[in-house]
């Protein structure tokens, strides 16, 4: 079968994410031609390099293709030993296989398709196009490499045959076709490199220092002995269950680490929060990325992501982590006044640990909750995020 030669492809230049008080804007293009994407819309600048002559189009607002929004669940100001009810279940279409226990309310974000910030929709679409083209070029490259191997093997076989005189015409064809195939391989390799979108995050010195502090706070947070994803909850019947706890939860051990995604070429590494019943959250400068296994992903302006933390008591029956503090003790079966219910023969004491409760929420539908054994680290991280978000809001928009 003859080799297909790809005729054209789209060049994907680097992208600068400009982080300022008016929001994140993406400058997409090469010298002489850029497309600036911001909260107000899209503006193109075309100029003749070196001439000082350029033309800038008016700002064209873009349509919000995903207008479905979900207001965040209000946070509670009650005692540390109480937790508010979870938001209604809204499981992503491609979430990891997960089933909450009967009677529990699942805590999960909306589908990836609706989570992207409005100002970042054009950038998301450009990145998706780059990934799609990269896959096509990669498939063509594999085909070309297979064809090269086939042509080389046939050429060697026919040249070394004692009947090579009868293969003279075929040998000539192969000697003509092989260099063309190798040239196509070189071209495809070059094209594959050109489909990568390299992100450059541009922000003020103040924002860069605040981001560095956030990274350091995350480094401490990820070292917590225990980290759980809270995937479902329900209110307890304190009288029937003979407990002082107001809430029962499903929790699963997870990992926080520094990671990355092939969606973004970045010199640093993102802060990753593993998500058991959904898609992981990766925090970059100014933007959060939620990649899904099937290739879909969401981009969220970090200032639109509410990250909060507080100390909460938890009746721990699986062993107290070494970095957790114990606020007191309760009983497996408890009276209203906190004394043990003597009607239960094998009643036993349970430590009340003080854990850090971290929540992620956004107007577009992000709803995630985590529990960590180092409560102070959780609080420090949330405060570092808030300081970084403030620094972004106060920064002047870079151009």
How many whole angstroms separate alpha carbon 82 and alpha carbon 312? Answer: 7
How many whole angstroms separate alpha carbon 151 and alpha carbon 184? Answer: 14
How confident is the model at residue 131, as a pLDDT?
A: 83
pTM > 0.75: yes or no? no
DSSP 8-state symbol, 334? B
Q: Interior CA angle at 224 toward 375 and 226, to 5°? A: 95
Q: Which H or E element spans position 101? A: none
Lowest average pLDDT, out of 21-35, 222-236, 246-260, 321-335, goes to 21-35
Residue 167 within any structural domain of the chain: no
Encoding tokens for residue 220? 């401490």
**Helix, coil or strand: residue 34:** strand
Residue 248 within any structural domain of the chain: yes
How confident is the model at residue 371, as a pLDDT?
A: 98
How confident is the model at residue 47, as a pLDDT?
A: 39
Residues 310 and 357: beta-carbon distance below 8 Å: yes
How confident is the model at residue 100, as a pLDDT?
A: 64
Q: Tell me the pLDDT tens digit for each residue of 215-271.
A: 999 999 999 999 999 999 998 887 777 787 888 899 999 999 999 888 777 788 899
Candidates 304, 368, 358; CA nearest to 90 is: 368
Residue 223 within any structural domain of the chain: yes
Residue 131 within any structural domain of the chain: no
**Helix, coil or strand: residue 358:** strand
Report the helix count and the strand count for the chain, using DSSP H and E: 5, 18
Lowest average pLDDT, out of 5-9, 41-45, 297-301, 324-328, goes to 41-45
Residue 384 within any structural domain of the chain: yes
In terms of pLDDT, which residue wins out, 38 or 251? 251
Highest mean pLDDT among 57-66, 186-195, 381-390: 381-390
Q: Tell me the pLDDT tens digit for each residue of 41-68.
A: 444 443 333 333 333 434 444 444 433 3
Cα 218 to the center of its chain, rounded Å: 15
User: Does 325 score more than 90 pLDDT?
Assistant: yes
How many domains does the chain fold into?
1
How confident is the model at residue 15, as a pLDDT?
A: 63
Residue 125 within any structural domain of the chain: no
Candidates 182, 187, 191, 170; CA nearest to 145 is: 182
User: Does 111 score more than 80 pLDDT?
Assistant: yes
Range of the domain at 370: 105-118+201-394
Residue 354 within any structural domain of the chain: yes
Residue 399 within any structural domain of the chain: no
């Amino acid at each position: 079968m003859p080799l297909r030669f790809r005729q054209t492809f789209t060049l994907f230049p680097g992208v600068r994410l400009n982080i300022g008080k008016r929001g994140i804007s993406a400058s997409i293009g090469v010298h002489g031609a850029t497309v600036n994407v911001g909260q107000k819309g899209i503006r193109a600048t075309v100029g003749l390099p070196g001439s000082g002559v350029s033309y800038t189009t008016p700002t064209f607002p873009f349509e919000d293709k995903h207008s479905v929004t979900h207001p965040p669940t209000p946070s509670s100001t009650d005692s540390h030993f109480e937790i508010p009810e979870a938001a209604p279940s809204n499981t992503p279409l491609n979430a990891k296989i997960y089933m909450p226990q009967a009677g529990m309310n699942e805590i999960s974000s909306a589908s990836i398709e609706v989570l992207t910030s409005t100002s970042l929709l054009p950038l998301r679409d450009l990145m998706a196009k780059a990934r799609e083209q990269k896959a096509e070029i990669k498939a063509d490259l594999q085909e070309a490499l297979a064809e090269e191997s086939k042509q080389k093997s046939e050429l060697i076989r026919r040249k070394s045959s004692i009947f090579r005189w009868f293969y003279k015409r075929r040998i000539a064809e192969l000697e003509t076709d092989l260099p063309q195939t190798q040239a196509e391989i070189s071209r495809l390799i070059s094209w594959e490199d050109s489909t990568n979108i390299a992100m450059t995050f541009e922000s003020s010195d103040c924002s860069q220092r605040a981001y560095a502090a956030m990274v350091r706070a995350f480094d401490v947070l990820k070292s917590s002995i225990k980290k759980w994803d809270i995937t479902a909850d329900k209110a307890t019947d304190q009288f029937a269950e003979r407990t002082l706890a107001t809430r029962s939860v499903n929790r699963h051990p997870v990992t926080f680490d520094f990671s990355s995604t092939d969606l973004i070429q970045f010199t640093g590494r993102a802060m990753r929060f593993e998500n058991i019943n959904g898609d992981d959250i990766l925090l970059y400068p100014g933007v959060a990325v939620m990649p899904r296994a099937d290739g879909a992903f969401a981009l969220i302006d970090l200032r639109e992501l509410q990250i909060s933390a507080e100390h909460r008591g938890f009746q721990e029956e699986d062993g107290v982590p070494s970095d957790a503090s114990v606020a007191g003790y309760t009983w497996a079966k408890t009276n209203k006044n906190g004394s043990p219910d003597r009607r239960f023969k094998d009643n036993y004491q349970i430590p009340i640990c003080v854990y850090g409760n971290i929540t992620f929420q956004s107007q577009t539908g992000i709803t995630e909750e985590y529990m960590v054994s180092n409560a102070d680290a959780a609080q420090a991280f949330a405060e570092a995020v808030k300081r970084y978000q403030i620094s972004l809001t106060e920064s002047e928009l870079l151009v």
